[in-house]
Chain A
Amino acid sequence: ETGVTQSPTHLIKTRGQQVTLRCSSQSGHNTVSWYQQALGQGPQFIFQYYREEENGRGNFPPRFSGLQFPNYSSELNVNALELDDSALYLCASSLGGRQETQYFGPGTRLLVL
C-alpha cells in the first residue's frame, strides 16, 4: 500500500507566475483535500475533491483551483502568485469526505519571490 505522495518537494516562483502542485492519493482513497500551511501556523483548508468534483472550499480566492483525475490523483493550481502564497502545501487523501480519516502527504514547500 503506497502512501500519499506530492511533487515537487520544493519550488521557487516569482510574483505573478502560475504554479501547479501534484498529489497522488493513497491506494483505495477517492477523496483529496488541499491545505495551505504558513510558517508557524496550522493548516488552512483550501478545497476538497471527491470523485473528480469539488466537494467544498475554504476561504481562498478563485485563483486557487484544482482538479482530480479518474485515478483520484489531484492537482492544485495557483495563478497570479503573491508573496503571501509562500507556504507548505499539503494534500491529504481519504475514503469518503470525513477529514479525520485522511492521511497527509509530506507537502510541497513553495517560495514566492
Chain B
Amino acid sequence: GQQLNQSPQSMFIQEGEDVSMNCTSSSIFNTWLWYKQDPGEGPVLLIALYKAGELTSNGRLTAQFGITRKDSFLNISASIPSDVGIYFCAGRLTDSNYQLIWGAGTKLIIKP
C-alpha cells in the first residue's frame, strides 16, 4: 500500500533548540497535515497544507508543502518542554476522496 516515510524516527534536543522533521513519498499528495499526539490522547491537528509550495505557520510551528507534492516539512522554533510528544504527518493522495495516509511519527524528547 501507499507509504509515507517520516524522519527522523526520534529526536533528542535541548530546550530552546529548533527542530526539523519531514515526510516523503513516492506518490503525489494534494493535502498534507501535521498532527501531534500526547500520551493517552488522540492526535491533534497542528497545520493543514493544500497547495504545492504553501508555507503555513501556527505559533512557533511552520510547515511547508513541497514543490514536488511528494514531501512536506515541519519546523518548530525555540522548543519548550510541552513540545514533547509524537508528531505525525498525514497526506491525501490526489486520486483519493478522503482517506489519509499517515507516517510512522517522529518522537520528540527534550533533554533535561
A-side residues, CB < 8 A to B, are 4, 40-45, 48, 55-56, 58-59, 90, 92, 97-100, 102-107
Contacts and interface: CB of A to CB of B under 8 A. Distances in A.
A100 B48 contact: yes
B43 interface: yes
Interface of B: 1, 4, 6, 31, 33, 40-45, 48, 88, 90, 92, 97-100, 102-105
Contacts, number: 54
B49 to A, nearest CB: 10
Contact of A97 (B31, B45, B98, B102): B98
A23 B87 CA distance: 24
A5 B88 CA distance: 22
B3 to A, nearest CB: 10
Contacts of A97: 97-98
Given A40-B105, A100-B45, 8 more contacts: A41-B105, A42-B102, A45-B99, A59-B1, A98-B98, A104-B43, A105-B42, A107-B40
The 8 closest A-B pairs by CB, nearest first: A104-B42, A42-B102, A100-B48, A97-B98, A42-B88, A90-B42, A99-B100, A45-B99
Contact of A58 (B6, B44, B99, B103): B99
A21 to B, nearest CB: 13
Nearest to B41: A106
A82 B45 CA distance: 31
Contacts of B44: 104
